[in-house]
Amino acid sequence: MEEKLSFEYAPAPESRALVTIKPKYGHFIGGKFVAGSKHFPTINPATEEVLSQISLAGKTDVDAAVKAARKAYTITWSKMSGKERGKYLFRIARIMQEHSREFAVLETLDNGKPIRESRDVDIPLAAAHFFYHAGWADKLEYAGLGTTPKAHGVAGQIIPWNFPLLMLAWKVAPALAAGNTVVLKPAETTSLTALLFAEVCQQAELPAGVVNIVTGDGSTGALIVNHPGIDKIAFTGSTEVGKIIARAVAPTNKSVTLELGGKAANIIFEDAAIDESIEGIVNGIFFNQGHVCCAGSRLILQESVAEEVIEKLKNRMAKIRVGDPMDKNTDLGAINSNDQLLKIRELSAAGDTEGAQRWSAPCELPGKGFWFAPTIFTGVTQAHRIAREEIFGPVLSVLTFRTPQEAIDKANNTPFGLSAGIWSEKGSKVLWASQQLRAGVIWTNTFNKFDPTSPFGGYKESGWGREGGRHGLSAYLKGVSHE
């Protein structure tokens, strides 16, 4: 009798014994943790367990944080040499590495992303941003950004929930390297790793007030944006809030960078290596549950290979392991919040209503927590909402094309312009396509690759300015623009 081979994985749970979560947190202002007055719960989205109570910063807290940042800028940080600032950044990077496992576990518990991703992507990249910018701190004069580069002063930084610690690193590392002090607000649902980072600042003996962290909701973010003591705003999040911020700072002298939404085209030409592109499609849309601004959420397939690609993609999607984010085998974790789950469901329902065909990978979703199976929609047209709006979840919209020019026209037919992917074995076609695409980041025969040395940012409604590399550094220096 023929025996059926089984490739079931035994559970491999990461231990949470390494992290100590306090029952309640305050804000980190002037180098110390200070108690907040109002609190709200932060939960584990995979289980709905309440992890801790987070403080909601109001006007007094934000005032205190801005005051501490100004004092630190005037008295200490702006007087310090770049070489000395760099030492602190190197120290922070090394301490983050030493605590990497603790950071990874905490991120996964608070965010719902698989431990494999927080351990192998988020935390190493966050440390890499501090290492990279530490190297710039004493070389600003040689960065091609003017002979006497000068910091803005106090930077207000507002970050989202999809890569909590990594987005903090993207913001704090260049700000400090360029000589600014900061007031940062993490997202409401994912404050814990930012608060652990505050402890790292204490361990690194960073001068008091150089980094201040206030937790809260959108109202706290608005208080930072509108505070007269802030010189520069850096925001990552939705295009909707980005527009509110742009309007708020327009009549002021504040400098601003905005990293907003995306609806990236991942284009597969008929001469692509199909099996490799399947991996690229999966990584493009299912990495981090699709909670990625540069996710390859529109698959643009050449008609001659469409059937083959879709069949292979479905086979591959059926093997995606969905479930406990703390299990080292898990590929797709929990949706970050109930609100986000509702948004994914709403847009997917619009896909059904508007006539696209839905297919979801057969998988068992846990009873508690927020979950959405990996899903593709075929038969999508450019007018469908699922082809135009950011779903920010594990949902892929598939469109097809016949000629290369049609692929480009479809790819560029979006209000966004953050990223794109091109799959082809032909170099000339890749170069031609990348010159036609209106996207800030273009990957060829790969997707979702990040590096601190590489500028990241978008066209159109995807935002203003760049983060990372020399271009990102320029956003934290006065009078330098590298759009």
User: Which amino acid type is present at position 78?
Assistant: S
185 touching ligand NDP, by CB under 6 A: yes
Q: Closer to ligand NDP at the Cβ: 221 or 455? A: 221
Q: How far is CA 119 from the centre of its chain?
A: 15
Kindly indicate which of the ranges 126-134, 185-193, 366-374, 430-438 contains the residues binding ligand NDP, using the contact rule CB under 6 A. 185-193
42 touching ligand NDP, by CB under 6 A: no
Q: Closer to ligand NDP at the Cβ: 56 or 134? A: 56
Shortest distance, position 305 Cβ to ligand NDP, whole Å? 30
246 touching ligand NDP, by CB under 6 A: no
By CB under 6 A, how many residues form the interface with ligand NDP? 26
Matching residue, tokens 């409401």: 188
CA distance 34 to 185: 15
CA distance 285 to 216: 29
CA distance 445 to 277: 7
Q: Closer to ligand NDP at the Cβ: 116 or 185? A: 185
Among 44, 157, 162, 424, binds ligand NDP (CB under 6 A): 162
Shortest distance, position 84 Cβ to ligand NDP, whole Å? 31
164 touching ligand NDP, by CB under 6 A: no
CA distance 285 to 398: 12
CA distance 362 to 47: 21
218 touching ligand NDP, by CB under 6 A: yes
For the sheet with 395-401, list strands across it.
Answer: 357-360, 375-378, 395-401, 298-302, 265-268, 419-423, 441-444
For residue 246, which of 235, 151, 214 has the smallest C-alpha distance? 235
Shortest distance, position 435 Cβ to ligand NDP, whole Å? 25
Is 293 tagged catalytic? yes
CA distance 49 to 115: 17
Catalytic residue selected from 259, 389, 390, 461:
259
465 touching ligand NDP, by CB under 6 A: no
Catalytic residue selected from 293, 389, 461, 467:
293
Cα angle 41, 44, 50 (rounded to 5 degrees) comes to 40
Among 187, 200, 278, 411, binds ligand NDP (CB under 6 A): 187
Measured between alpha carbons, how far is residue 312 from residues 276, 298, 316, 444 in Å? 11, 17, 6, 20
Among 44, 111, 118, 236, binds ligand NDP (CB under 6 A): 236
241 touching ligand NDP, by CB under 6 A: yes
375 touching ligand NDP, by CB under 6 A: no
Is 363 tagged catalytic? no
Q: Closer to ligand NDP at the Cβ: 274 or 442? A: 442
340 touching ligand NDP, by CB under 6 A: yes
Matching residue, tokens 């759009």: 483
CA distance 147 to 49: 53
Report which DSSP code applies to 119. I
Q: Closer to ligand NDP at the Cβ: 400 or 419? A: 419
Mark residues 320-339: x for contact with ligand NDP by CB under 6 A, - for none.
--------------------
Among 84, 138, 217, 354, binds ligand NDP (CB under 6 A): 217
Output b/e per residue, 88-100; b: 16+ Cβ within 10 A.
Answer: bbbbbbbbbbebb
- Pairing outcome for strands 27-29 and 32-34: antiparallel
293 touching ligand NDP, by CB under 6 A: yes
For residue 447, which of 333, 280, 330, 294 has the smallest C-alpha distance? 280
Among 128, 260, 272, 398, binds ligand NDP (CB under 6 A): 260
Q: Closer to ligand NDP at the Cβ: 149 or 216? A: 216
User: Which amino acid type is present at position 146?
Assistant: G
Shortest distance, position 174 Cβ to ligand NDP, whole Å? 17
Measured between alpha carbons, how far is residue 35 from residues 25, 215, 427 in Å? 7, 11, 58
Residues between 85 and 144 with contacts to ligand NDP, criterion CB under 6 A? none
Q: Closer to ligand NDP at the Cβ: 162 or 180? A: 162
The residue with its CB nearest to ligand NDP is 221
CA distance 452 to 275: 29
Matching residue, tokens 């005037």: 74
443 touching ligand NDP, by CB under 6 A: no
188 touching ligand NDP, by CB under 6 A: yes
Measured between alpha carbons, how far is residue 373 from residues 247, 296, 345 in Å? 38, 17, 11
| Active centre residues (catalytic) | 259, 293
Note the residues at the interface with ligand NDP (CB under 6 A). Answer: 158-162, 185, 187-188, 217-218, 221-222, 225, 236-238, 241, 244-245, 260-261, 293, 340, 343, 390, 392
